[in-house]
Chains A and B, each alone.
Chain A
Amino acid sequence: MSLLGLSGPKLTLKHLSTILLMIISFFPPPSLSSVSRGVTGHPPDMDEGNDDNIYMDGDDDFGAETAKITSPGESITSARAFMRGHGTYVDSDEVIASVAGVIERVNKLITVRALRTRYSPEVGDLVIGRITEVQPRRWKVDANARQDAVLMLSSVNLPGGVQRRKLESDELQMRNFFQEGDLLVAEVQAFFADGAMSLHTRSLKYGKLRNGQLVSVPPILIRRLKSHFCSLPSGVDLILGLNGYIWISKHVRNNEKEGHEGFDAEAVYSNQNDDIDDATRTAIARVSNIIRVLASRSVPITDSIALEAYEWTVEQDVDVKDLLLEDVADALVAAVTKEPSEQW
């Protein structure tokens, strides 16, 4: 019975009658128990034989290869046949996990990717970073990874045209572009030999962040999406950095972003916030709290979940600060996470 509880479709009266009809037609003498089973769990078009499939469907979401999760101290395999990688150690001829995470295997090499860890970058990822240091011809950027990222002067958009050589005068006024503490959104361009990532902001989508606030979550909760820029109703923009930094800001229209001549350096590198009205500020605080709640309950954060959660809080008329109360937060997470089974 617990298995049937996994998916709880909403059943209308019409469904109920079809189920009853079906059960009657399949099993001429319907016992009381089978009726109740049908009502609690079965989708209308499934008969008894498909019980196992409910389980299988759930597993398929993870891909063809099911992810195996392990915990510290758990023996994974024999050390004779396999080599130990990151997150494992060998004790008495056995490879044992040293962190909680997902087991990965490449040929003979066994590694465990930790669940709670720093961000491990990949080329093309969208990240949000904070400038920690200004160095000759480069900025050091904290991007929640093991090492600080590097943003070269040559990989930012310079004023006066997108395509132009950097000059000595640019080097001398690097703090006019980014200074210590500034937040920016960028893309991972390449890696250096020591594994540090190199960022670039050579797109109008990227650059300095303003008009909002930052929320930080464990990087594992951010999945790779089609677009990491999303806008919610009531004028809030959301940038989901794959490194776990999330920027929540006032909505900026696309044509405003570009400025008059394609690239407006003053607007891009400005430190001044626009005028933000109270309603937008409240909405930004609401989205921040939603993200905090979802992160505290380890719900993966995507644009659609954020949107759903936002609509739920508006529908239920939840006050912004009440979102952090335990029962409200639990209700929010329950409402958001049960959604997939309700779709049909």
Chain B
Amino acid sequence: MAFKTLSKSEKSYIQASLQAQQPLRGDGRSLHQFRSVTLQTGVAPIANGSSLLNLGRSSDESIGGTEILAAAKLEVEDIGPASSGVEGGRIACVVSCSPAAYSYLPAAALDDLQHDYSTVLHAVFSHASLRPPSLGIIPGRKAWLLTLDLMVLSDAGNVYDALFMAARAALWDTHVPRTRAVEYRRGIGGKAKDDNDMDVDPESHSGLDTRSKPLATDFELEDSWDEGPVLGGRDAWPVCITLNLFPGLHFLDATTQEEAAAPIRLLLVYSFSAKSPAAALHGMHLLGVGNVDLAQVESLVKEGEKYALDIYTALNAKLKDEELRRTDKARLKFSSVR
């Protein structure tokens, strides 16, 4: 249930409960406790990778919680001055909000909200430091454009964390079809290899050849559209943690009401890798009115890293589970057909 505004007494009740000797939240959680998260990958059949995430709903309920649907779709883009493609591929991130989730908002306000979410996610996910290695097709000619679409189906607070988790799951689930470059060669005298006019280059590592521009002009797909190796560097996809700040304390995973009562929210985006235990801070965003000391931010960044690592480990475990579940299902289906 979403609330446009809180009454003054509700707000002060929430604030007083949080700042009491023993902080207490409306649903009895401790300050740094998350609500339960449910996650499923592979929910959109025509996307290359997708996920459905719910934050804060128990399995017996049919509604409630923050629900996010994320889908990644690959498109081929030309690289060149006329088109928007980028060498090595690019990622575009768009968040849309279901009007049903924000029925109290007028259309213009909903647009603003979508724009805010999109800006934050796009800035993080499309950054060059996170670009996966396997999005190029033909150097200088063609590359994949990965469109990551997210939909907020319902809002029960903490949308940013949920959006990042869903996005990470969808990208984790994304498979990129293998491509093979196709090269056209002019038959000049005896220089042409054999009788073939067309030669198929098995490995398109022509980047080593610095003497001439690569000749590959087109490509063919080795895999069908939903197969292929997973998108590279998927361990690095970031997680977001929102710290809701009060003087002297912070709490995680706020409900809508708590969000309305907390004056400042600090979004911290971390990326981890399997090799090194250190986290990389990929983004920081301060929401709300008020100011925070730099010294305080420093300590919060350290604190946030711990929470983010927890989310990261839990999410990875769940995603691996999901992969197993889905391969098992596919195997069963296959064996039953045979």
> Chain B contacts of A326 at CB under 8 A?
58-60
> Chain A contacts of B61 at CB under 8 A?
296
Bound Cα distance from A323 to B26, whole angstroms: 13
Give the shortest distance, in Å, between B61 (CB) and chain A (any CB).
Answer: 4
- B331 part of interface (Cβ distance < 8 Å): no
- A125 part of interface (Cβ distance < 8 Å): no
- B28 part of interface (Cβ distance < 8 Å): yes
Q: Which of A142, A272, A278, A319 contacts B9 (CB 8 A)?
A: A272
Name the segment of A6-14, A22-30, A78-86, A205-213 touching the other chain: A205-213
Q: Is the CB of B16 within 8 A of A276?
A: yes
- A302 part of interface (Cβ distance < 8 Å): no
- Chain A interface residue number, banded: 35 or more
Bound Cα distance from A324 to B58, whole angstroms: 8
- B3 part of interface (Cβ distance < 8 Å): yes
Bound Cα distance from A182 to B7, whole angstroms: 4
> Chain A contacts of B10 at CB under 8 A?
183, 213-214
Bound Cα distance from A276 to B29, whole angstroms: 19
> Chain A contacts of B8 at CB under 8 A?
181-182, 271
Q: Which of B7, B20, B28 contacts A271 (CB 8 A)?
A: B7
Which of A214, A216, A276, A286 gathers the greatest number of chain B CB atoms within 10 Å? Answer: A214
Q: Is the CB of B9 within 8 A of A282?
A: no
Bound Cα distance from A153 to B102, whole angstroms: 29
Q: Is the CB of A321 within 8 A of B30?
A: yes
- A254 part of interface (Cβ distance < 8 Å): no
> Chain B contacts of A296 at CB under 8 A?
58, 60-61, 64
Q: Which of A160-181 contact B (CB under 8 A)?
A: 180-181
Give the shortest distance, in Å, between A257 (CB) and chain B (any CB).
Answer: 16
Q: Is the CB of A319 within 8 A of B28?
A: yes
- A273 part of interface (Cβ distance < 8 Å): yes
- A289 part of interface (Cβ distance < 8 Å): yes
Binary A-proximity of B59-94 (CB < 8 A = 1, otherwise 0): 111001000000000000000000000000000000
Bound Cα distance from A272 to B10, whole angstroms: 10
Given A130-B3, A132-B4, A214-B10, answer yes or no on A285-B28 (Cβ-Cβ < 8 Å).
yes
> Chain B contacts of A271 at CB under 8 A?
7-9, 12
> Chain A contacts of B13 at CB under 8 A?
210-213, 273, 276
Q: Is the CB of A278 within 8 A of B60?
A: no
Q: Is the CB of A286 within 8 A of B28?
A: yes
- Chain B interface residue number, banded: 20 to 34
Q: Is the CB of B6 within 8 A of A181?
A: yes
Q: Which of A255-297 contact B (CB under 8 A)?
A: 271-273, 276, 278, 281-282, 285-286, 288-289, 292, 296-297
Q: Is the CB of A181 within 8 A of B5?
A: yes
- A232 part of interface (Cβ distance < 8 Å): no
Give the shortest distance, in Å, between B103 (CB) and chain A (any CB).
Answer: 10
Give the shortest distance, in Å, between B256 (CB) and chain A (any CB).
Answer: 11
Bound Cα distance from A326 to B60, whole angstroms: 8
Which of B10, B12, B36 gathers the greatest number of chain A CB atoms within 10 Å? Answer: B10
> Chain B contacts of A180 at CB under 8 A?
5
- A112 part of interface (Cβ distance < 8 Å): no
> Chain B contacts of A182 at CB under 8 A?
7-8
Nearest B residue (CB) for A250: B13
Q: Which of B1, B3, B7, B58 contacts A329 (CB 8 A)?
A: B58
Bound Cα distance from A282 to B30, whole angstroms: 12
Bound Cα distance from A214 to B10, whole angstroms: 8
Given A276-B16, A321-B33, A329-B58, answer yes or no on A288-B27 (Cβ-Cβ < 8 Å).
yes
Nearest B residue (CB) for A270: B9
- A320 part of interface (Cβ distance < 8 Å): yes
Nearest A residue (CB) for B17: A281
Bound Cα distance from A321 to B28, whole angstroms: 5
Q: Which of A142, A181, A278 contacts B22 (CB 8 A)?
A: A278
Given A130-B3, A296-B61, answer yes or no on A321-B12 (Cβ-Cβ < 8 Å).
no
> Chain B contacts of A286 at CB under 8 A?
28
- B24 part of interface (Cβ distance < 8 Å): yes
- Which 3 pairs, one residue from A and one from B, show the smallest C-beta to C-beta distance? A320-B28, A181-B5, A210-B9
Please report B residues at the A interface, Cβ cutoff 8 Å: 1, 3-10, 12-14, 16-17, 20-22, 24-30, 33, 36, 58-61, 64, 104, 257
Question: Can you pick out 8 interface pairs between chain A and chain B where the beta carbons lie within 8 Å of each other?
Answer: A130-B3, A132-B104, A181-B8, A271-B7, A271-B9, A272-B9, A281-B24, A289-B27
Please report A residues at the B interface, Cβ cutoff 8 Å: 130, 132, 142, 180-183, 208-214, 216, 271-273, 276, 278, 281-282, 285-286, 288-289, 292, 296-297, 319-321, 323-324, 326, 329
Given A213-B257, A296-B61, 8 additional A-B pairs, CB 8 A = A181-B5, A181-B7, A183-B9, A276-B16, A289-B27, A320-B24, A320-B28, A324-B36
